[in-house]
Structure 1
Amino acid sequence: MWKFWRKNGLVIAGATIQGFGMGVFLFPHAIPSGGAGGMSVLLNYWFHVPIGFALWLVNFSMLLLAMKYLGNRSTLWTMLSITVTSLSIFAFQQTIHVPARNVWIDLAIGSIFLGTGVGILLREGVSNGGVGVIALIIANSRNILPGKPLFLINGCIFILTASVIKWEIIIQALLSQWISTIIVDLICKINFYQSYTLGWRKK
């Protein structure tokens, strides 16, 4: 029971920290926080799918992968992380207003919070939603840290999105992913083998 509540608290904390970085620092500058956002923009651009529904569709598809490869329990934890992240983004955007902004300072701060939240989630064997599921599957199968596959997958999506929409977003998006990836791996290196070799197995 203690392990359940401990993991529950860490998942909620990780998702809230992630939502704080996204909602307060990254989204006000339209900086994509990950591959799911880029895929949603492309679906909206190509097929005129409402971006909110497109984001849900991408996350739902990733959850199906999580259920198949990571097990039902991992999928439920991922659903919790996605829900808490979405609610925290909305809450923080409604309650916190930064009067003077600098895009590069906000990018750095937001990416640090994003990486911290994602790192906590992945360290618990829980995806942060979107393409984080794919990164977790790759890391699980190869017994490696998830930061690098997460960066490579998101980078490819950002390049595709920038080539279709506008090239200006790619520098900020990739820089944000690079910073957050460093933080993810720093968080995940803590008790790496104990956390990952047992936590990722199908339940």
Structure 2
Amino acid sequence: MGSFLFPHFIPSGGAGGLTVLLNYWFSLPMSIGLFIINASMLLIAVHYLGTSSAIGTLVGITGTSIAVNLFEVYVHLSFQNVWIDLFIGSITLGIGVGLLLRQGVSHGGIGILALIISKARRIPPGKPLFLINGVIFIIISYIINWQIVVQAVICQWFSTKIIDWIFHLHVPPNVLSFLQPQFRKK
């Protein structure tokens, strides 16, 4: 997000959209705005998803905010082409969020609401995530620029497809067995 999406003011999702609005209105750094929005959603995670999910979400929120700050300030990977950056940003966003949601935790923000709806309705989390973020994008289009929203919707569509694919990906247990310590029998 910090390298590919935020430099073009493309919101990566609902929390990202609200972060872009905070930056637009108050010149609040993106990483700080993202942390504030995500931390406020943590109370909802504790209530609806339980303490272990909330702790995982807190780790995800903190990691995301630190990574956004590092990439926004120190690492400039952007291709300076909005469409290439949009494509790469959507892929990395989808993979990261998909891996977190697969573990029952969220990267914060609207992902928490999507995970709650997903668990309650037994549906993939990408669909509610897309709908909630769409409403936020409409607000951004009215306040900032409608062209950003077109890019944000493309980003959301592509990344939520990746999220749902990763969420339902079946990995046989023996494929990852090399990650477990092997002890010799005596």
Same fold? TM cut 0.5: yes
Q: Taking structure 1 as reference, are residues 191 and 31 closer, same or farther at Cα in structure 2, changes over 3 Å only?
A: same
Report the counterpart of residue 91 of structure 1 in structure 2.
70
Q: Which letter does structure 2 place at the counterpart of 1:30?
A: F
The question of whether the paired residues in 2 share the 8 Å contact of 1:41 and 1:51 is answered with no
- Corresponding residue to 1:115 among 87, 91, 94: 94
Change (3 A) 1:101 1:140: same
Per the TM alignment, residue 39 of structure 1 is displaced from its structure 2 partner at its CA by 2.4
Structure richer in helix, relative to its length: 1
Q: Which runs of 5+ in 1 are unaligned?
A: 1-21, 193-203
CA distance in 2, matches of 1:44, 1:26: 14
Matched, 1:67 2:35: no
Q: Which has the larger radius of gyration?
A: 2
TM-score by length of 2: 0.82
Deviation, structure 1 residue 132 = 0.5
State the partner residue of 1:103.
Answer: 82
Q: Percent identity?
A: 55
Please report how far the alpha carbon of residue 44 of structure 1 lies from its aligned counterpart in structure 2 after TM superposition: 6.4
Provide the alpha-carbon RMSD of the alignment: 2.3
Query: How many residues get paired?
Result: 170
**Deviations 1:50-92, CA, capped at 9 Å, x for gaps:** 4666544422221110000001111111000111111122223
In structure 1, the residue matched to 2:137 is 158
**Structure 2 runs not aligned, ≥5 long:** 172-186
* Bigger RCO of structures 1 and 2 (CA < 8 A, at least 6 apart): 1
1:13-72 deviation per Cα after TM superposition (whole angstroms, max 9, x unaligned): xxxxxxxxx1221112111111012224445667x5946665444222211100000011
SS in 2 for 1:97: coil
